[in-house]
Structure 1
Amino acid sequence: MYAEERQQAIARLVTERGRMSVNQLAREYAVTTETVRRDLSSLERIGLVRRVHGGVVPPSSLSLIESGIRERDQVNTERKERIARAAVAQLPPSGGTVLIDAGSTTARLATLLPSDHALTVFTHAVPIASRLAGLRQIDLRLLPGRVRRTTQAAVGADTVSFLSDLRVDVSFIGTNGLTAEHGLTTPDADEAAVKRALVASGSRVVVLADSSKFGIETAVRFASAAEVDVLVTDDEVSSADRRALARAGMEIVVA
């Protein structure tokens, strides 16, 4: 099957079935996931599909490409748990400072912070702050700003301004999309501005991203691959993706 024929078939299948994952499409057409991602990029450019976390949907099925925090928390849960556990090893020494970005995987990291490891934690995420409030080993600092309903995270000029004066040992960052060429992306411009400031505030930047985020480029880039020190991900990431990101300067930790 030629690429054009396969892409037409994919567009028809997605229209018939609704949401399809990259892995499902790769099995359906006996091609690699990298080939599927290239096909989906081509189809999205001409408006035949819309890419979402780990897959694709018909263009008419989404009024908003960004899913809410509750929806995301129920997707790829086992992978996210492994990633969060592996990310604990990236914490600074006891007494250090960290920033924790909003997101379902970063929220899991927050629940795994060791009880004997004192940290000052800055976050703009209300769910993360609620999990950490009252923990004796955590000195919690909640960032100012307007709270978005979709992500339950503070955004806006006040949030970015606060971060511009902040320097922490490690920033733990989530992302909606990740490619070696285009970097890290998110659908919302206000979220992107805060994430950009979170990255700039960290002496080390650690990204937590499961394999469903790879090959996806959403609307707004907030960091290049070269700005990330460590990527913690799962073992379903292809070797080609790992090599490309390593060439960009990332240390890859596979959970």
Structure 2
Amino acid sequence: MYPEERHEWIREQIKTNKRVEVLELANDLAVTPETIRKDLDLLETTGILKRVHGGAIVVERLRFEPNLDSRDLTARVQKEAIAKRALEEIPDGGSIIIDAGTTTARLASIMPQDRELMIVTNSISIGMILSPLPNLTILLIGGRLRSKTAATVDSWALSALSEIRVSTALIGTNGISIERGFTTADPTEAAVKRAMVAAAKRVIVLADHTKYGDEKFARFASISEVDLLITDNGIDEVDRAAMELAGLNVVVAPS
């Protein structure tokens, strides 16, 4: 079992049972206790668990916002699959929005060189990833730069988004639920995402399956405001059916 698969299994256990034990995990996964301790130390940086003597306990994720580097460690393989699938939804021309985030950054990193697009983003890192592509016009949204996520927020960003209209917005999220829709931890980032939704004719959310069932502090879109969710094959079929019953079109990226 690869480390990413092991980490995903541990995440599912902590989410379901609220607590995990080092020796029990080591036995279940056929690895040494020291390997599990290192896994738990790494997963603690992502904010989903807290290390305690002999194991770990779940963290109340509603109140926690991991930084960009920590988020990038989570579900890497799944995010890459989602990004590849999202390429099929990008038009050959016109204008789009790419939201700040780790999955959207992966999308930017595999953008084809032949696309002639105007791309609006509130992420400096995504702008830098895309800048070498000669056929793209990159528009960076101004505003206050949040150090935790490297995203621009506040009134300057909202003002710019209120003046534009694009064909497609590709947006990340920290939480998805039927009741609350799409949520994120910070209200200022939620406001920018909400403005992106309003500026786009078509809204696509890119999110790995670990985001489902999680509710963060601030909502930026209801289920009905999103046209398509692209997720990975780790999504539970019951959860997928519930989202589709609520009216959300869900596409699972090939692994």
Determine helix, strand or coil for the equivalent of 1:151.
coil
Contact in 1 for aligned 2:47/2:65 (Cα 8 Å): no
* Matched residue, 1:91: 90
CA distance in 1, matches of 2:17, 2:192: 38
Runs of 5+ unmatched residues, structure 2: 1-9, 20-44, 51-56
CA distance in 1, matches of 2:67, 2:105: 14
> For residue 12 of structure 2, what is the amino acid of its counterpart?
V
CA distance in 2, matches of 1:61, 1:214: 15
User: Residue 103 of structure 2: which of 98, 102, 105 is its match?
Assistant: 105
Matches within 5 A, 1:236-255: 236-255=234-253
**Percent identity over paired residues:** 41
1:249, CA displacement in angstroms?
A: 2.1
How many residue pairs match? The answer is 213
TM-score (norm 2): 0.77
Quick one: structure 1 residues 155 and 27, their matched pair in 2 at CA, closer, same or farther if it must change by over 3 Å? closer
Contact in 2 for aligned 1:53/1:212 (Cα 8 Å): no
Quick one: structure 1 residues 215 and 254, their matched pair in 2 at CA, closer, same or farther if it must change by over 3 Å? same
User: Residue 132 of structure 2: which of 112, 115, 134 is its match?
Assistant: 134
* Matched residue, 1:154: 152
User: Residue 220 of structure 2: which of 208, 219, 222 is its match?
Assistant: 222
For residues 202-225 of structure 1, give each alpha carbon's deviation from its aligned partner in whole angstroms, at most 9, with x where no partner exists.
Answer: 100000000110100011111101
1:114, CA displacement in angstroms?
A: 1.1
CA distance in 1, matches of 2:18, 2:196: 40
CA distance in 2, matches of 1:60, 1:106: 26
Quick one: structure 1 residues 28 and 171, their matched pair in 2 at CA, closer, same or farther if it must change by over 3 Å? closer
1:28, CA displacement in angstroms?
A: 9.3
Contact in 1 for aligned 2:173/2:182 (Cα 8 Å): yes
Determine whether 1:193 maps to 2:183: no
Contact in 1 for aligned 2:193/2:220 (Cα 8 Å): yes
Contact in 2 for aligned 1:234/1:254 (Cα 8 Å): yes
For residues 177-219 of structure 1, give each alpha carbon's deviation from its aligned partner in whole angstroms, at most 9, with x where no partner exists.
Answer: 0012210111111011001101111100000000110100011
1:134, CA displacement in angstroms?
A: 2.8
- Cα RMSD, aligned residues only: 2.5
Quick one: structure 1 residues 53 and 216, their matched pair in 2 at CA, closer, same or farther if it must change by over 3 Å? farther
Determine whether 1:204 maps to 2:194: no
* Matched residue, 1:38: none
Contact in 1 for aligned 2:18/2:58 (Cα 8 Å): no
Contact in 2 for aligned 1:205/1:227 (Cα 8 Å): yes
CA distance in 2, matches of 1:237, 1:207: 15
